[in-house]
Amino acid sequence: MRSTQIFALISALILIVGTECYSRASDSSQTVDLNEYQIGLYAGLNSNSHNVDFRALPGVPSCCPAYRSGSGLTPTLGLLHHIPLSGEFGLQLRTGYDVRSVLFESDEPTTVVNTFGEVIDGTIHHSLDVRLHYLNLDFLGSYRLFGALSLTAGGGLAIPLGQDYEQDELLREPATGTFENGSRRRNAFKGDVEDAAHIQTLLRIGLTYELPLTASGNWRLVPELLFSRGLASPVSELEWSVQALSAGLSLRFLPFERPAPERVDYPEYEELPPPESESDSTVIAQIDGPLPLPTLEASIEAVGLDSLGKEYPEVIYEVEEFVSLFFQPLLPYIFFDANSAVIPERYAQLEPEAVDSVSLSALATNGSILQTYYHILNVVGKRMQLHPAANLTLTGCNAGEGAEKANIDLSRARAEKVKQYLTDVWQVAPGRIRVEARNVPRAASLETTPSSIQENRRVELSSDEAAILEPVIAHNIVRTVSPPRIRLFPRVEAIAGIDHWEATLSQGSSLLKRWRGRGTPPQRIDWEFPDNLAISSENFAVVLNVRDSADQNLTTDPARLGLETLTMVRKKRERRQDMEIERFIVLFPIRSAELDQVNRRIVSFISSRIEANSGLRIIGYTDMLGDEKYNDRLASERAASVAVELGIPEARIEGFGETATLYDLSLPEGRCYTRTVEVIIESRLAQEN
């Protein structure tokens, strides 16, 4: 109903503008040629092109490494008014319905274990079909180039009418085998897109050509070609750009009577005599050929960079696959906004019909512990189904400050909201969930800083069954790059000055990273390769593009770096010794380096995983609260506490205070997961004969 009302309101607005122009037709003071006033209908077909860089929609479980681009063909139709201004210029108002649908597809090379225990190559096909429906309001200027050909350009607003999606992941190869859920399909979801932007702004430019349908010219058929580009992402927090090329027709009616052209009698041509003297003629010096352009030169050099900062000028990168286990502790808190009992949108919430296809392994992401944490409601819901005798306690808390002070009702409402999700979506019996309420948490932050107050606004989860809140294990195959980083040295000489620059790192047709800026580029750029880099036989290539203030553009030849890939299949075939990587996270309270009983059990389990040939790294971290020197010392003390508990006090430890930002520290969960120690165990596997 709301969309219909908006469409009617905008259409009425355009009709009012057109009526006003009509009413001014009898005004003799008008300089506007109202004979060219037009109303009509338009319809066309959009060829949509979407360029993106994300792995999943907000709140939707996905195992896709990344989506890069997609396309789609969709209709567009609506009403238009063309209002002549002066001379060859005019104004065009349009309102209409537009669809910007797109299908993203990605094939993920992987390795799987078949029914005979053999590691073989496989392919997972990821697809994401997104439909974006808009009500458009366009303001276009027009200029008649010559004859019936006109140029149109301007901007517009796109008001969302609905945005939905359908996602699927299919084990395409090998022909036999299943995912962990016992099916060849997983993460099959559909629904409305979360965090969709409210109103989009667009730029449009195009050409039109008017063809008269009647002798009087009052009816015209106008072929149109229009290019449009959105100025913002359709979904907040995602890197997503949309452009479309629309080809269509408009049928236009000119309501004003067109007068016949007046006959003009021109005088006969009279040849003038040549001037009597040319002595006063001016001589202008002429330079043959174009003026020279200012100098523009550019180059870029790429070197390898290890973890200690050592450079390797002529490097051959090695991408190697390993079996990886990531033990991620589940932070037992749901944080809330100020004075609110609504679960924030960053927490993944599913529809009831989607829970049957959800597996715990799909909820555990190997890359980001925060993405796993945002599925805490679904992890707990799934485990409550798997452990029907378990009970859960939800304790609602408030900030203890301002409007929330002593507001027990708000604390209880927060806990009830979490209970409602678990009972409605995951069908957990209400009698198995106990709700309690208090003011500030029992282990509250006693400071009155905004960050501390933010951390007290939460619901705490506890259970009589340890399995409900135990760490989530992500079992995956990861790919590491050695050396782990790349360092770029861009060099530019521009006499006219540098307007902007762009450097790209790619592998074949896949863009890995893009850097952009205005003015002079930095002297060096460092970047660390992600662990989930796709397996490819193609080398890395680095390119620098520069545009100077004289509008000259220069693109350097690719700087290439060699690459060798070691897949698990290749290592097995060549009988190379393989390695397993295990990562463990140990959480600490704020400003503390002491291990509680829960973390002591975790460290005890870590100790059982260390073998005689294992490599070991123990790294401590802190948040940004407090003094920088204190945080550096606290990070090292946390790492030392874990080393002592492991029985290896002489182990090499590392401590990073404020110098290393693991997660978004503006969020309470980001700060909690930064008060941590990471233990990395690298164990050599027994070599097969």
3-class DSSP assignment, residue 107 = strand
| More confident: 544 or 446 | 544
pLDDT in tens, 489-511: 999 999 989 999 999 999 888 88
* Contact residues for 543 (Cβ-Cβ < 8 A; gap 6+): 300, 503, 504, 506, 555, 556, 557, 558, 559
Q: Is 649 left (phi over 0), alpha (psi -120 to 50) or beta?
A: alpha
pLDDT value at position 264?
47
Torsion of CA 573, 574, 579, 580, to 10 degrees: -10
Give the integer Cα–Cα distance in Å for 194 and 208.
Answer: 37
| More confident: 52 or 236 | 52
| More confident: 516 or 1 | 516
* Helix 376-386 and helix 408-424, axial crossing angle in degrees, nearest 10: 60
Q: Is the pLDDT of residue 363 over 90?
A: no
Q: Is the pLDDT of residue 522 over 80?
A: yes
Average confidence (pLDDT) over 418-441: 96
pLDDT value at position 557?
93
Average confidence (pLDDT) over 355-374: 78
Give the integer Cα–Cα distance in Å for 497 and 495.
Answer: 6
Pull the structure tokens for residue 300: 């870029």
* Contact residues for 340 (Cβ-Cβ < 8 A; gap 6+): none
Rg (C-alpha) for the chain, rounded Å, is 33
Q: Is the pLDDT of residue 12 over 70?
A: no
- Dihedral over Cα of 207, 209, 210, 211: its sign: negative
pLDDT value at position 269?
43
Under DSSP, the state recorded for 398 is -
Q: How far is CA 51 from CA 130, 134, 213, 231, in A?
A: 13, 19, 40, 13
pLDDT in tens, 629-681: 888 889 999 999 999 999 888 888 888 876 666 777 788 998 888 889 999 99
pLDDT value at position 267?
47
Q: Is the pLDDT of residue 286 over 50?
A: yes
pLDDT in tens, 75-88: 999 999 888 887 68
Average confidence (pLDDT) over 327-346: 93
Tell me which of 278-282, 378-382, 598-602 is least confident: 278-282
Give the integer Cα–Cα distance in Å for 549 and 17.
Answer: 42
Average confidence (pLDDT) over 3-15: 52
pLDDT value at position 270?
47
pLDDT value at position 367?
55
pLDDT value at position 116?
56
3-class DSSP assignment, residue 221 = strand
State the pLDDT confidence band at 415, using cuts at 50, 70 and 90: very high
pLDDT value at position 46?
92
pTM: 0.51
| More confident: 224 or 269 | 224
Q: Is the pLDDT of residue 447 over 80?
A: no
Give the integer Cα–Cα distance in Å for 38 and 19.
Answer: 11
pLDDT value at position 63?
83
pLDDT in tens, 553-566: 999 999 888 888 87
Cα 267 → chain centroid:
70
Closest CA to 72 of 49, 89, 39: 49
Percent of the chain exceeding pLDDT 90 equals 38
Give the integer Cα–Cα distance in Å for 506 and 253.
Answer: 52
Q: How far is CA 143 from CA 38, 82, 202, 209, in A?
A: 15, 12, 20, 12
Give the integer Cα–Cα distance in Å for 661 and 421.
Answer: 32
> Which run of H or E residues covers position 169?
strand 149-173
Closest CA to 637 of 677, 597, 601: 677
pLDDT value at position 19?
53
Q: Do the Cβ atoms of 328 and 585 come closer than 8 Å?
A: yes
For the ranges 107-116, 212-221, 411-420, the one whose mean pLDDT is highest? 411-420
pLDDT value at position 386?
93
Q: Which strand ranges, in their side-by-side order, compose the sheet holding 485-494?
A: 311-312, 296-305, 485-494, 525-528
Q: Do the Cβ atoms of 67 and 54 come closer than 8 Å?
A: yes
Average confidence (pLDDT) over 560-582: 79
Residue linked to tokens 């027009």: 142
Give the integer Cα–Cα distance in Å for 39 and 82.
Answer: 6
Tell me which of 196-210, 250-264, 288-302, 540-554 is least confident: 250-264
Under DSSP, the state recorded for 390 is -
pLDDT in tens, 90-126: 899 999 999 889 999 998 888 776 655 566 778 899 9
For the ranges 430-434, 538-542, 598-602, 617-621, the one whose mean pLDDT is highest? 430-434
Q: Is the pLDDT of residue 296 over 50?
A: yes
3-class DSSP assignment, residue 140 = strand
3-class DSSP assignment, residue 657 = coil
> Which run of H or E residues covers position 672?
helix 668-672
Average confidence (pLDDT) over 588-613: 87
Average confidence (pLDDT) over 227-233: 90
Give the integer Cα–Cα distance in Å for 98 and 43.
Answer: 10
Phi, psi of 42 (to 5 degrees): -135, 155
State the pLDDT confidence band at 271, using cuts at 50, 70 and 90: very low
Residue 421 neighbours by CB distance under 10 Å: 19
> Which run of H or E residues covers position 396?
strand 392-396
> Which run of H or E residues covers position 67?
strand 67-84
β-sheet bridge partners, residue 248: 44, 224
Q: Is the pLDDT of residue 31 over 60?
A: no
Burial profile 324-341: b = 16 or more Cβ within 10 angstroms, e = fewer: bbbbbbbbbbbbbeeeeb
Cα 68 → chain centroid:
10
Under DSSP, the state recorded for 235 is B
3-class DSSP assignment, residue 453 = helix
pLDDT value at position 274?
56
Percent of the chain exceeding pLDDT 70 equals 85
Q: If you write DSSP's letter for every residue of 298-364 in order, what string do you get?
A: EEEEEEEE-TT--EESS-EEEEEEEEEEEEE----EEE--TT--SPPTTS----GGGGGG--HHHH-
β-sheet bridge partners, residue 433: 392
What is the residue-averaged pLDDT of the chain?
Answer: 83
Closest CA to 626 of 654, 594, 658: 658
